[in-house]
Amino acid sequence: MEWQTQALAAVDGANAVLEGDDGTTTARTVTVRESNTLQISDKISYVSGTQQAVVSAGRSDELSYQVGLDKLALKRDIETILLRNQQEATGDSTTARTLGALPSWLTSNVSRGTGGSNGSRGNTTATDGTARALTETMFKTVERSIWDNGGKPDLIMLGSFNKGVFSAFGGNATRMKSAEDKTLVATIDMWDGDFAKAKVIPNRFQRSRELWLLEQRMLAVGFLRGRNMLTQDLSKTGDSDRRQSLSEYTLIVRNQQALGVVADLTVS
């Protein structure tokens, strides 16, 4: 799958022209063509003829019930794949195609441990470095870098352990307490910093060693037409029924400069 990215012309602080001037045509910035391989993921639902014939407690169609479960599981697989450290591969007759996942795209706004290195526009994976504890300074350095590069992060994602570390940042030094309902608020669910106002959520499907700062409009999941959670019957080969749930998809990164990662974090 291919898409185009466009950068604005550089800021011109000396932009002043004569009254009545004919004007000089503004130089155009060339668009950049990006691409990522489409990956196919599926789940196969299966029930025996007996299971399909009997009436199960609470449901009338066992196969449809299993398909519903498998579609939920497939969505979890896709989210995990999009966030794992995986590079693009075109595949062949014996090797499945794989997309370049998010960790392999970032090069501009990154903080890595010793020995860590960036990937390259989905073509190579990032190299993990030595794990270190998450600090507010690390986070704010990446946050500022994104802003300097024109980004406006609106989502922060991180693992469960580091969500607790994040909630202990200095900005949350004053805890809010309601005596009426005996509630103590001891978490940060919204970060309103110098350069970002972002929702903070723990994500169980990403790598726990990474904290992501994302401008959501700069990311998308692209599906091949007609292949988004497609469900189709498979040929009957015995006393059973099988149904395939399938998606053919890829990650679209519209501008990696609007995204950031604090990588190589301790997770316990």
What per-residue confidence (pLDDT) applies to 53? Answer: 83
What per-residue confidence (pLDDT) applies to 185? Answer: 63
The answer as to whether 13 is a domain residue is: no
- Residue-wise pLDDT for 35-83, tens only, equals 999 999 999 999 998 888 887 777 788 999 999 999 999 999 999 999 9
The answer as to whether 26 is a domain residue is: no
> What's the pTM?
0.86
The answer as to whether 234 is a domain residue is: yes
Contact between residue 1 and residue 250 where contact means Cβ atoms under 8 Å apart: yes
CA distance 229 to 161: 32
The answer as to whether 15 is a domain residue is: no
What per-residue confidence (pLDDT) applies to 176? Answer: 58
The answer as to whether 14 is a domain residue is: no
- For tokens 């301790």, the residue is 266
| Beta-bridge partners for 181 | none
Question: What residues of the chain score a pLDDT lower than 70?
Answer: 171-186
What the block records as the tokens of 83 is: 């966030």
The answer as to whether 76 is a domain residue is: yes
The answer as to whether 206 is a domain residue is: yes
The answer as to whether 16 is a domain residue is: no
Going from the C-alpha of 222 to that of each of 57, 59, 80, 124, 203, the distances in angstroms are 38, 34, 16, 20, 21
Number of domains forming the structure of the chain: 1
CA distance 215 to 202: 16
What per-residue confidence (pLDDT) applies to 181? Answer: 63
Going from the C-alpha of 134 to that of each of 103, 151, 169, 226, 265, the distances in angstroms are 18, 22, 10, 42, 6
For residue 45, give its domain range: 33-262
Q: What is the CATH number of the domain that holds 78?
A: 3.90.1690
